[in-house]
Amino acid sequence: MRLIAVGTRMPTWVSAGCDEYLKRLRPALRVDIVELTPGVRPAGAPVERAMEDEARRMLGRLAKDEYVIALDERGKAFSSVELSRWLAERMRDGRDLAFLIGGPDGFAPAVRERADLDWSLSRLTLPHALVRVVLAEQLYRAHSLLAGHPYHRA
């Protein structure tokens, strides 16, 4: 699994939160984080130019056969149990997963077209830094459910 995110120089709390949950996932699942610098957004210039730049670099990081999940508040919502079932299906498929977090203006159309799934962590718009931590925790929770670990208590 990979998390490909627009944004660099995350606050310490983001790195600590992600590291904690991703460490718990190992050795069962490995999640690598790939950070991309945001596209340049000069004053008065259309944001689409920056979004297209981010899309080009993001798409360039994807393997042809990866299952791509674009994180977006307008995407499909899962309960924790539903997410664990979805994760089990993906694990049976055997394809690598790439979770995408876009820049401040979201995804360019080319990224949405490449995505196999648009997934909403919440109907709220979350700060991109927080999305990383929530994603890491939810992946850990889903895997814990599959493993019968008591972390998830409904």
Which tens digit of pLDDT belongs to each residue from 135-152? 999 999 999 999 998 887
Has residue 143 been placed in a domain?
Answer: yes
Has residue 153 been placed in a domain?
Answer: no
Place of tokens 């899962």: 78
Q: Across all residues in the chain, what is the average pLDDT?
A: 94
Q: Is 146 left (phi over 0), alpha (psi -120 to 50) or beta?
A: alpha
| Integer CA distances (angstroms), 52 to 57, 83, 126, in order | 9, 30, 22
What is the predicted pLDDT for the residue at 75?
96
Report whether pLDDT(27) > 90.
Answer: no
Q: Name the residue with higher pLDDT: 150 or 21.
A: 21
Report whether pLDDT(58) > 80.
Answer: yes
What is the predicted pLDDT for the residue at 125?
87
Residue 100 domain boundaries: 2-147
Residue 40 burial class via C-beta count within 10 angstroms: exposed 0-12, middle 13-18, buried 19 and up: exposed
Report whether pLDDT(84) > 70.
Answer: yes
- Pairing mode, strands 117-120 and 32-36: unpaired
Has residue 37 been placed in a domain?
Answer: yes
pTM for the whole structure:
0.94
Has residue 152 been placed in a domain?
Answer: no
> At CB < 8 A and 24+ separation, what contacts does 142-148 make?
142/80, 142/83, 142/84, 142/86, 142/87, 143/25, 143/28, 143/29, 143/84, 143/87, 145/80, 145/81, 145/84, 146/84, 146/87, 146/88, 147/28
Number of domains in the chain: 1
Arithmetic mean of pLDDT, 79-87: 96
pLDDT tens sequence across 102-119: 999 999 999 999 999 999
**Share above pLDDT 70 across residues of the chain, in percent, rounded to a whole number:** 99
pLDDT confidence band for 154 (50 / 70 / 90): low
Residue 140: CATH number of its domain: 3.40.1280.10
What is the predicted pLDDT for the residue at 149?
84
What is the predicted pLDDT for the residue at 150?
83
CA torsion 37→39→40→42, rounded to 10°? -140
Has residue 35 been placed in a domain?
Answer: yes
Has residue 54 been placed in a domain?
Answer: yes
